Amino acid sequence: MKLIPPLLLLAPLAVLAQAPLSVPVSNLASAPKVDGELAEWGGDGWVKVPVKPALEREERAKYGLDPAGERNTTGSLTVEMKAGVAGGRLYIAVRYPDDAADTQHKEWGWRGEKYQRENQLEDMFAVRFHLAGDFDRTMLSTKDYKVDVWLWSAARTNPAGVAEDMTHHVTTKVQESAAEYQIKDGPVVFISKRRDEGSAPYEMLPRPKENKGDKLPSFALGKAAGSAADVAAKGVWKAGRWHLEFSRALSTGNADDAPFKPGDRITGQIAVFNKAAAEHKSVSEPLLFDFAAVK
């Protein structure tokens, strides 16, 4: 059995006893346009959310990953976030520093007599919400839980104005077609990642067989449809910062989407990828999205 690390939101195992940071969800006077331009969100009320590398140096060595974590170019930074409701939809705005907009992803490059994937990786941002089970801040967990994941990517989803809408299931029970991770002196953790039903916003392309140029795209943009198109998302990079907006109906009626209800509080978490993927990211502690003020 080949064991591979999980791909998203791999967080440190050491848990600090602290209350989750609250993200108040307000009633918006009008629905913002999901375009990455955040002027209409105003200057007050931004919640500062610290993120830090998902795995510390000692933990990386413990799990057989590169100890220095060279591919985590995000480091520790602060994400500013606001959330609100208008017209039966949840809107989330975030902004954070990034020295460059990385909008290329693993192009096919002609080398010698065949195409090889280039090393470019796009910027990405993920939000996940508790869906079922016993939520844990880490995916290296012996708890059994599911999360609703929204994954925005600068190359593959931003042109379509959506985020990938997925369900992740973390469990120690055997799962077919799941990533597997062996915890030292512990069980194997299975992480199943499933896109919501419908048409995805992009499709990865196979290696071209014939030389059609020095550089070719590794994916083709498509039109998201069905439940896969539930989450609108758009990002704009300017003046050394990413500005992102997300939006989704409070209730989609789909079992694979976390419901948002007035008066409720729901646990969530964010991750920042600066030209990185897999465990090479920075994550927040759990957040508490508070809908107490929502009517």
| CA distance linking residue 229 with residue 246, whole number of Å | 12
289: left (phi over 0), alpha (psi -120 to 50) or beta: beta
User: Which residue type does 79 have?
Assistant: V
Residue 11 Cα to chain centre, angstroms: 13
pLDDT score of 67: 54
pLDDT score of 15: 41
Q: Is 101 inside a domain boundary?
A: yes
Length of the chain: 295
> What's the start-to-end Cα distance of the chain, in Å?
51
pLDDT score of 9: 43
* Closest to 235 (Cα-Cα) out of 96, 119, 105: 96
pLDDT digits (tens, 9 = 90+) for 117-130: 999 999 999 999 99
Residues of the chain with pLDDT under 50: 1-16, 58
Contacts of 16 by beta carbon, 8 Å cutoff, 6+ apart: 285
pLDDT digits (tens, 9 = 90+) for 79-93: 999 999 999 999 999
Q: Is 18 inside a domain boundary?
A: no
pLDDT score of 1: 40
pLDDT score of 43: 94
CATH number at residue 246: 2.60.40.1190
pLDDT score of 5: 41
pLDDT score of 184: 74
Number of domains forming the structure of the chain: 1
Q: Is 7 inside a domain boundary?
A: no
Q: Which residue has the tokens 């993927």?
A: 277
Contacts of 262 by beta carbon, 8 Å cutoff, 6+ apart: 85, 291, 294, 295
Q: Is 11 inside a domain boundary?
A: no
Q: Residue 68, Cβ neighbours under 10 Å: how many?
A: 10
pLDDT score of 127: 98
Q: Which tokens in the block code for residue 121?
A: 């990786």
Q: Which residue has the tokens 């939000």?
A: 127
**pTM above threshold 0.85:** yes
Q: How big is the CA angle at 156 (ends 155 and 161), to the nearest 5 degrees?
A: 95
Q: Is 209 inside a domain boundary?
A: yes
Q: Is 6 inside a domain boundary?
A: no
Q: Is 271 inside a domain boundary?
A: yes
Q: Which tokens in the block code for residue 273?
A: 């990828």
**H or E element that contains 275:** none
pLDDT score of 54: 80
pLDDT score of 7: 39
SS3 264: coil
Q: Which residue has the tokens 């020295």?
A: 99
Q: Beta strands 145-153 and 265-273: pairing type?
A: unpaired
Instruction: Supply the range of the domain harboring residue 145.
Output: 23-290
**H or E element that contains 91:** strand 89-97
